[in-house]
Every structure is written in structure tokens, then in C-alpha cells.
């Protein structure tokens, strides 16, 4: 069975298994070469400083075709426990970016309160009319009352947009069922001008896609927030398709991803002494033939990463 | 640090940990952790 995926190195992470003999692309970690503390290429990435819940994002933008199936896998081992006898821990997964390398958050993705304009709207309007606003949040927290509009060439209309009012777009009493399949939404500020989404009349036309912007999980916590054992453990997820979410599936509009780890986040409040130390190795992100063809742990923990 | 439940999921909004847009990071937590802190 071939073990080379996509190119000459194993998977799409550059230096994901320390092939370069250094910590490039993962500079917040050092290199650990103690026998048994690495899986391949003579060294692993070592979280060897005191860190109490800080984030770490890889520097490499890895291109993604969301119509394909990928496997994401990180192998991790706690080296020393914290002063409080805690193993290393924290969220692992990835961060998503669009084709211009803008970070994608949930308030850029359709999937909450999706509806369409029933009347043309113009920049500056403070009331818009939609087919159904029953799915819009009336939460008192402003980050649940965002607003998105889809259209134009870019941002495009495949469930992702940069045409957004992220917070407090409408008041909690701003949604009214007018009957007959129409609702009004009263906006707190005039509708912005997003030129590429306007028609020849300078309007957002009937049928323009509208969604409720609601903040939620910042990153894709694809492999959860485990506590890392003191033996090598491989965490793996299958990533394919797009959605509005913070799990393994890609977000709408994803064209690139980056490595993500929230270091020692599970015990972030325990800061009276040294934090846990752990190593990461054999970072893998690569296309696989189908969801039924995930690479086995025996390979992911092997010294066959090139 | 704010603990919040949204649509059946539980988060801590960590203003000491900024996302790539410079906003506080929303971090998925368990219901147990949410209940311990609220």
C-alpha cells in the first residue's frame, strides 16, 4: 500500500513530522530528541515552557478542496505532569480561512435563520422584509443578533459571506410577523452598501439570501479537548464537506486551514507552579479516498513519515 | 472570562485569548465545566 499522499512528504503539513530537523511552522514549540519522545525524523515538537491555556496557530496555510475527504491526525504524549499532577491537555483541531486568507468565523456562515428578501432593499434602509425571520435570535446578547447578506461575485453565495453586521444588527423586538409569508426586520443602522451584491437598480434584489449571524466556537475543535496520556495517543478526525460548525467538517468558504492547539487549556486556572509538558509529532493532514479509508494508528504513530 | 450557553452548546469566551480577528476566543467546553462556573 502506498504511503505517500498528495506529494513527496507525508500529508500536507510542511515539517509536520519535524522532517526539517527544526521547529519551522510551529515555532512556539521546541524540538525534543529524547529517545521515545518522538515518532519519526529524530525529533518531536515540545511544549516545554509554562503555558496555561494559550492558543497556538500554525504559520502554514494549507490549501483545501472541501469536496474531497481529508484525514487530520495529531499524535501527542505528556512528558511531565503539572505541579498539580495534571497531564497535558487542550483543544486540538484547525482554524479556517477563505480564499483571501481571511479568518472565517460562524458569523460569516449561513445556517442560522436562513431566509430571503421578499422586497428589494436599498443601502440605508432600516427595515427589510424577508420570508421568515422566526429563526433569528432574540437573545439579549448582541453577538447573537448579527446579520448577513449573500450575493455578488466575492464574497460569494456558497454559504459564506463577508457582508455582515456582526453584532447588534437589530433590536430584540425588531422581528415582526406580518402574515402571508412575510416578516419585517428593523435594523439598528441603515443597511450597508455592499456594491457587488447590488443589482442594476442599486438594490439588493428580491430573493437575496439573508441569515442571522450568531457567534459561537471560534475554531474547529475537530478532535475535542482531550487530556493527553503519558503514552503516545493519536487523535484523528475526518474532514469533508462544509457546514456552519466548530467540529471536523469545514466551514462554508474554506480554502485554507491552519493547525490549532489550545495548550493546557483544560487546567488553565492552575497556575501556582509548572504546567504540564507534552510533545506532538507526526502531524498529518491529507486527502484519503473516502471516509472509510482512514489511515490506521499503526501508521500514524510510525517512523514512516517522510 | 464569560461562560455562556448558545443553542445547546457551552462556551467560555476568553478575552485573554484573541482570535485572528482580534476578538475574544469562543472555546467549546463541557456542560459540567459550564455549570461549575455559573
Burial class (CB in 10 A: 0-12, 13-18, 19+), A80: middle
A152 — pLDDT class (breaks 50, 70, 90): confident
A7 — pLDDT class (breaks 50, 70, 90): low
A158 — pLDDT class (breaks 50, 70, 90): confident
Contacts of B6 in chain A (CB under 8 A): 144, 214-216
What pLDDT is recorded for position A2? 45
* Cell triple for A145: 443578533
pLDDT at A77 over 60: yes
What pLDDT is recorded for position A35? 96
Q: Closest to A103 (Cβ–Cβ): which among B11, B19, B29?
A: B19
B2: closest CA of chain A, how far (Å): 12
Q: Does A144 touch chain B (CB under 8 A)?
A: yes
Read off the DSSP letter of residue A15: T
What pLDDT is recorded for position A4? 47
pLDDT tens by residue, A30-52: 999 999 999 999 999 999 999 99
Helix-strand-coil split of chain B, %, nearest 5: 15, 55, 30
- The span from the CA of B10 to the CA of B26, in Å, is 9
pLDDT tens by residue, A102-134: 999 999 999 999 999 999 999 999 999 999 999
Percentage with pLDDT > 70 across chain A: 96
Do B25 and A265 lie within an 8 Å CB cutoff?
no
* Cell triple for A135: 429563526
pLDDT tens by residue, B1-38: 899 998 889 999 999 999 998 999 999 999 999 999 98
- The span from the CA of A135 to the CA of A140, in Å, is 15
Burial class (CB in 10 A: 0-12, 13-18, 19+), A112: buried
DSSP states of A55-124: EEE-S--EE--TTS-EEEEEEEEEEE--TTSPPPB--EEEEEE-TT-PBP-GGGB--SS-EEBSS-B-TT
3-state secondary structure of B34: helix
What pLDDT is recorded for position A9? 81
3-state secondary structure of A262: strand
The yes/no answer to whether this complex scores an ipTM above 0.90 is yes
Neighbours of A269 (CB within 10 A): 10
Query: Distance between terminal CA atoms of chain B?
Result: 11
Q: Does B21 touch chain A (CB under 8 A)?
A: yes
Q: Does A213 touch chain B (CB under 8 A)?
A: no
Is the distance from CB of A37 to CB of A79 less than 8 angstroms? yes
A8 — pLDDT class (breaks 50, 70, 90): low
User: Mean pLDDT in chain A?
Assistant: 94
In this structure, of A6-20, A136-150, A218-232, B12-26, the range with the lowest mean pLDDT score is A6-20
* Cell triple for A281: 509529532
pLDDT tens by residue, A226-257: 999 999 999 999 999 999 999 999 999 999 99
For residue B27, what is the nearest residue in chain A, using CA coordinates? A217
Q: Closest to B28 (Cβ–Cβ): which among A95, A144, A221?
A: A221
Amino acid at each position: 500500500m502506498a504511503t505517500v499522499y498528495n506529494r513527496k512528504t507525508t500529508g500536507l503539513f510542511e515539517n509536520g513530522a519535524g522532517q526539517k530537523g527544526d521547529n519551522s511552522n510551529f515555532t512556539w514549540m521546541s524540538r525534543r530528541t529524547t529517545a521515545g519522545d518522538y515518532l519519526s525524523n529524530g525529533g518531536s515538537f515540545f511544549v516545554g515552557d509554562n503555558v496555561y491555556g494559550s492558543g497556538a496557530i500554525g504559520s502554514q496555510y494549507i490549501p483545501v478542496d472541501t469536496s474531497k475527504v481529508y484525514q487530520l491526525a495529531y499524535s501527542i504524549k505528556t512528558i511531565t505532569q503539572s505541579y498539580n499532577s495534571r497531564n497535558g491537555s487542550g483543544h486540538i483541531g484547525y482554524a479556517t480561512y477563505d480564499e483571501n486568507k481571511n479568518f472565517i468565523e460562524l458569523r460569516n456562515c449561513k445556517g442560522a435563520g436562513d431566509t430571503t428578501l421578499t422586497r428589494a432593499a436599498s443601502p440605508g434602509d432600516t427595515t427589510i422584509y424577508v420570508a421568515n425571520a422566526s429563526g433569528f435570535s432574540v437573545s439579549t446578547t448582541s453577538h447573537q443578533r448579527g446579520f448577513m447578506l449573500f450575493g455578488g461575485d466575492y464574497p460569494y453565495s456558497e454559504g459564506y459571506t463577508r457582508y455582515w453586521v456582526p453584532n447588534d444588527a437589530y433590536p430584540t423586538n425588531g422581528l415582526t410577523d406580518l402574515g402571508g409569508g412575510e416578516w419585517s426586520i428593523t435594523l439598528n443602522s441603515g443597511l450597508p452598501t455592499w456594491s457587488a451584491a447590488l443589482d442594476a437598480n442599486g438594490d439588493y434584489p428580491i430573493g437575496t439570501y439573508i441569515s442571522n449571524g450568531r457567534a459561537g466556537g471560534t475554531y474547529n475543535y475537530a478532535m475535542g479537548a482531550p487530556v493527553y496520556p503519558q503514552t503516545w495517543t493519536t487523535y484523528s478526525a475526518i474532514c469533508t464537506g462544509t457546514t456552519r460548525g466548530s467540529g471536523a467538517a469545514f466551514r462554508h468558504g474554506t480554502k485554507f486551514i491552519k493547525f490549532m492547539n489550545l495548550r493546557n487549556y483544560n487546567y488553565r486556572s492552575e497556575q501556582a507552579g509548572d504546567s504540564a509538558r507534552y510533545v506532538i509529532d507526526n502531524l498529518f493532514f491529507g486527502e484519503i479516498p473516502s471516509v472509510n479509508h482512514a489511515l490506521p494508528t499503526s501508521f500514524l504513530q510510525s517512523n514512516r513519515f517522510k | 472570562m464569560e461562560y455562556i450557553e448558545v443553542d445547546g452548546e457551552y462556551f467560555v469566551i476568553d478575552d485573554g485569548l484573541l482570535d485572528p480577528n482580534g476578538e475574544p476566543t469562543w472555546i467549546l467546553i463541557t456542560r459540567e465545566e459550564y455549570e461549575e462556573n455559573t
